[in-house]
Amino acid sequence: MDFFLKSKSMRVRVAALIQDSKGKILLVQQQKKKSGYWLLPGGGIEFGESGEEALKRELKEELSLEVSHTEFLLLNESIDPNKKRHLIQIVFLTKVRELLPVLNAKEKAISGFGYFSPKEILSMDLRPDIKHYFRAKNTNKPRYISSPWVNEP
């Protein structure tokens, strides 16, 4: 009963790790308040929708990308230290038919995109912060990653 009395928020998000021919990874930029940060493209899973269905829908809606193949890569979990918000991110290694996204004009949250090397990503404001995944030598095997919560300034 205590669960229903507290204001809590859990979000389940799917994300795509899309690489170009040089191994660079597609990230999208979002603007929140006065700062911008980067994240893997994707979005929330709707009730009754599978992770793969949600990923295909989000990539089509936001970036006009058509998914040709997905493979589970990692599960990332990030919890607010105050225990008020909880994010679970399911990341799929994703192949798309065309590598060049086209931003949807109606999508106000995304302000840009780019392909970046894992080395470049290490110095970026990436959310959730899964940069240690890109430092690892073996990034092919599925894994669970816990990442620290990033508070808005």
Mean pLDDT across 47-71: 96
How far apart, in whole angstroms, are the C-alpha atoms of residue 51 and residue 92?
9
Domains in the chain: boundaries? 9-139
pLDDT at 132: 85
In the predicted model, what is the mean pLDDT of the chain?
88
Tokens standing for residue 109 = 């949250």
Q: Which amino acid is at 81?
A: P
Interval 68-96: pLDDT, tens = 999 999 999 998 888 888 999 999 999 99
Instruction: Indicate whether 23 pLDDT > 80.
Output: yes
CATH class for domain 9-139?
alpha beta
53, 66, 77, 107: the catalytic one is: 107
pLDDT at 135: 82
Mean pLDDT across 35-40: 91
Instruction: Give the contacts of 106 (CB within 8 A, at least 6 positions apart).
Output: none
- 3-class SS of residue 72: strand
Give the pLDDT band of residue 146 (cuts 50, 70, 90): confident
Q: State the DSSP code for 100.
A: S
Tokens standing for residue 14 = 């799917």
Tokens standing for residue 130 = 């899964």
Instruction: Indicate whether 149 pLDDT > 80.
Output: no
Residue 71 known to be catalytic: no
Tokens standing for residue 92 = 């799929």
